[in-house]
Amino acid sequence: MSFLQENLSFDAAQVILERSGENGKELYMKGLCIQGDVKNANQRTYPVNEISNAVKTLKEQIGGGYSVLGELDHPDDLKINLDRVSHIITDMWMEGANGYGKLKILPTPMGTLVETMLGAGVKLGVSSRGSGNVNESNGHVSEFEIVTVDVVAQPSAPDAYPTAIYEGLLNMNGGSKLLEMAADARESITAQRFLKSGILQLIKDLKL
């Protein structure tokens, strides 16, 4: 079995943000998580039946009360690192050949970082993380299992960045400065590093 990660960019995922709960405090990302029957940037193809079976299994785990957690930036293994958790997957389903999911952003340090960046207009992608067997001759994947879906900054396959629409996010000290940094970060890797540092300091100041 191989370790498999498939990244999706902002535009093709067509992910929307939803708010619910008291005063709309709960933030959800919903949209495309993995594409079927197309060769991706990693030269792998996931047959529809493989994605469907993997989505069904994960959906059953969620329905059975299992907490499927995801991280900000994906690690290089299948382990879930609790200090990196930013969200929990609340639902998975199929639409055509593709697998879709709904992610609830958690009030963890990494979840707060995701929420802040989305509100500042930073484009974040998603990355499925799982395992399977890859046919070396044609790149077709079999025995595919999804472990989780992570939120990532730089997807390798430019097909499905989530679209973020979230209001009133930066009503806090330092928020406007971070907003300006976020605008610069869209074009500058150096600015992205400063943005991350600034947000982490803001989280520390808030004692989250």
pLDDT of the residue at 189: 56
Lowest mean pLDDT among 112-126, 145-159, 177-191: 177-191
Specify whether 142 is located in the same domain as 174: no
Specify whether 36 is located in the same domain as 69: yes
pLDDT of the residue at 195: 59
Specify whether 200 is located in the same domain as 151: no
- b/e per residue 174-204 (b: at least 16 CB within 10 A): eeeebbebbeebeeeeebbeebeebbeebbe
Specify whether 80 is located in the same domain as 143: yes
Which tokens belong to 182?
């976020």
pTM: 0.71
Total number of domains in the chain:
2
Give Cα separations from 125 to 13, 36, 161 (angstroms). 8, 17, 4
Rg of the chain taking only CA atoms, in angstroms: 17
Average pLDDT of the chain is 78
pLDDT in tens, 98-150: 999 999 999 999 999 999 988 888 878 888 999 999 998 999 999 999 999 99
Identify whether the C-beta of residue 191 lies closer than 8 Å to the C-beta of residue 185.
yes
Domain membership of residue 94 as a residue range: 2-166
Specify whether 102 is located in the same domain as 131: yes
Specify whether 150 is located in the same domain as 190: no
Specify whether 199 is located in the same domain as 141: no
Looking at 148, 166, 184, the residue that finishes a domain is 166
Specify whether 186 is located in the same domain as 205: yes
Specify whether 151 is located in the same domain as 191: no
Specify whether 42 is located in the same domain as 94: yes
Specify whether 141 is located in the same domain as 179: no
Output the 3-class SS for 81-134: CHHHEEEEEEEEEEECCEEEEEEEECCCHHHHHHHHHHHCCCCCEEEEEEEEEE
pLDDT of the residue at 207: 46
**pLDDT, average across residues 195-205:** 60
Per the model's pLDDT, the better-predicted residue between 18 and 195 turns out to be 18
174 pLDDT tier (thresholds 50, 70, 90):
very low
Specify whether 120 is located in the same domain as 31: yes
In sequence order, what are the residues at sequence separation of 6 or more whose Cβ sits closer than 8 angstroms to the Cβ of residue 160? 8, 9, 10, 11, 12, 13, 14, 15, 31, 32, 35, 125, 126
